[in-house]
Chain A
Amino acid sequence: MNWSWSYFFEYLTNGLMLQGAWTTVWLSVVSMAIGLGLGIVAALMKMYGNRALRYVAEFYIWLFRGTPILIQLVIIYTGLPQIGIRLSVIEAAILGLALNEGAYLAEIIRAGIMAVDKGQDDAGRALGMTWRERMWIVILPQATRTIIPPLGNQFNGMLKTTSLASVISMEELMRNAQMLAQIEFRVLEVYIVAAVWYLVLVTIWHQIQLRIEAHYEKPFGPAAAVASEGERELAKAVRAAGATNT
């Protein structure tokens, strides 16, 4: 038995690990935010675009859902320089994670928009709203309610998926753990500490997620808190559409 509690506690508060954890957090947030933008655009293109836009969106979704994110990251960072596109580690990590996430979010957002009753769009049009006004005022706020739970799960996945960016030497939690492991060869202690940090981040996120979900339930009035059978089915379908990546 060669387990050292002192190394364990040393790593737990090690500056490199804390820095790595912080990087994991902001990398996740930034990639998720950009991915969300990409996902909304791709979903709207696929649902409402002309033929060309639809094909572009479908190709994007097909490509990034159909290949491992590990390969996407490696191609973006080490492959693209071959054709003259040179990105920094941070740029490559954010781009890869966001592009991958956007493809999954597009399908979740699309399912959320489709779950909004067709009569809502009719009502908006009858009031004289343009497509853009109907989207922002009527459709997307209602789609949000169905999208929020799977979106939270996607972010949970994102916190862990960022560890793959270690292969392109992005200095996040996983990468920093690897570096520490090579200094003192306390492999078990250092990776368990990394795992503990991921657990902490995911657990904190879960609490935030619960609060966000409660917030988005509210605008529909107390009666809406009791979701109908049909709505639960829809929510399930939306969740299934965005089955987790990696």
Chain B
Amino acid sequence: MSTHGEMAMTETGQATAASAADTLPEPPARPNGKVKTLGEPIVTVEQVHKSFHGNHVLKGVSLTVRQSEVVVIAGRSGSGKSTLLRCIDRLETIDDGRIVACGNLMGFRETNGRRVALRDHEIARQQREMGMVFQNFNLFPHISVIDNITVAPIRIKKVPRAQAREEARALLERVGLPEKENAYPRQLSGGQQQRVAIARALAMKPQVLLFDEPTSALDPEMIAEVLDVMVDLSHQGMTMIVVTHEMGFARAAADRVLLMHEGSIVEDAPPEDFFTKPTSDHTRAFLSKILQH
């Protein structure tokens, strides 16, 4: 990851994103030559609270993520990072607050100011707009790599089989595993499995990708191959919320870095500010701990 340099932020893109695309001013180029424009808010988390059996895990978390933005979330074990991601994708219910993602109020329908809980298939339809990549990959072990990637498009989106397979092959190419389509997950290394998991998520053409410590379960020599794919995705404008302690990735690809501490977001800054002039003592403590290693 040391090859990825620092990047300038594109504040102008954010400020004018609400207007129509053709009236946008030319956004400044990044050091790597890519141009990045942040769009409208696509994920909005407002004052979300979540407890597990009296254990208050999210304490009024608010967060806005714009289209094409890459947000990295760091924080100690148990600070609520996974819970936040899982609430955004409605893998967990929330106790209070609201989450709007890809235009959907997650888990509810609002009629005349009253909230009605959505039913199973309606929630599933909301979840289709987002993809999630897990720490332990969670590939389906009983089906081959290509079936892992095509099963949801074919069975859920009713994409024709031939088309789904063609798209899956293109995705495998994109994550650098073109020759593995007939392998089974257990025949792959951790890094390869995680890249298949990313391809599986992409196959549903999600508007947002959520990553929960995607490299934490990997041997050190496999971390780079996964991060490279993620950096690539960020360059192609994918909106990403990434829980990770890979600060090299944060420097290379993040627009903002957040620190969670005991269920609250205590720092929210562009990477260079996060690393050089943090405002929170918790961030300083976190950074000094990271730098020791």
Smallest CB-CB A-B distances: 3 pairs: A221-B184, A128-B128, A126-B132
29 residue pairs A–B, Cβ–Cβ below 8 Å: A117-B138, A119-B134, A122-B91, A122-B132, A122-B134, A123-B139, A123-B140, A126-B134, A127-B204, A128-B124, A128-B126, A128-B128, A128-B156, A128-B204, A129-B155, A129-B156, A133-B124, A133-B155, A133-B156, A137-B155, A141-B142, A145-B142, A219-B143, A220-B142, A221-B183, A221-B186, A223-B187, A224-B141, A224-B184
Cross-chain contact B127 with A128 (CB below 8 angstroms): yes
Cross-chain contact B121 with A220 (CB below 8 angstroms): no
Measured between alpha carbons, how far is A120 from B138 in the docked complex, in Å?
A: 6
Chain B residue at minimum C-beta to C-beta distance from A224: B186
Is residue B30 within 8 Å, beta carbon to beta carbon, of the partner chain?
Answer: no
Is residue B199 within 8 Å, beta carbon to beta carbon, of the partner chain?
Answer: no
Contacts of B143 in A (CB 8 A): 219
Is residue B179 within 8 Å, beta carbon to beta carbon, of the partner chain?
Answer: no
- A216 shortest CB reach to chain B, Å: 9
Question: A122-B86, A129-B152, A221-B186 known; 4 other A-B pairs, CB under 8 Å?
Answer: A117-B138, A127-B156, A127-B201, A223-B184
Measured between alpha carbons, how far is A133 from B154 in the docked complex, in Å?
A: 12
| A interface: dominant SS | helix
Measured between alpha carbons, how far is A117 from B204 in the docked complex, in Å?
A: 23
Among the listed A119, A127, A142, A220, which residue makes an inter-chain contact with B152, where contact means beta carbons less than 8 Å apart? Answer: A127
Chain A, range 220-239, C-beta contacts under 8 Å to B? 220-224
Cross-chain contact A123 with B186 (CB below 8 angstroms): no
Chain B residue at minimum C-beta to C-beta distance from A222: B187
Measured between alpha carbons, how far is A137 from B89 in the docked complex, in Å?
A: 20
Contacts of A145 in B (CB 8 A): 142
Which of under 10, 10 to 19, 20 to 34, or 35 or more describes the interface residues of A?
20 to 34
Chain B residue at minimum C-beta to C-beta distance from A138: B140
Is residue A86 within 8 Å, beta carbon to beta carbon, of the partner chain?
Answer: no
Measured between alpha carbons, how far is A130 from B140 in the docked complex, in Å?
A: 16
Contacts of B134 in A (CB 8 A): 119, 122-123, 126
Cross-chain contact B185 with A126 (CB below 8 angstroms): no
- Chain A positions 107 through 134: 1 when the CB is less than 8 Å from some CB of chain B, otherwise 0: 0000000000101101101111111010
Contacts of B184 in A (CB 8 A): 219-221, 223-224
- B239 shortest CB reach to chain A, Å: 16
Contacts of B204 in A (CB 8 A): 127-128
Given known contacts A131-B120, A138-B140, A224-B141, is B91 in contact with A126 (CB within 8 Å)? Answer: yes
Cross-chain contact A126 with B187 (CB below 8 angstroms): no
- B85 shortest CB reach to chain A, Å: 10
- A220 shortest CB reach to chain B, Å: 6
- A141 shortest CB reach to chain B, Å: 5
Measured between alpha carbons, how far is A133 from B151 in the docked complex, in Å?
A: 11
Cross-chain contact A137 with B141 (CB below 8 angstroms): no
- Chain B positions 186 through 200: 1 when the CB is less than 8 Å from some CB of chain A, otherwise 0: 110000000000001
Measured between alpha carbons, how far is A16 from B134 in the docked complex, in Å?
A: 62
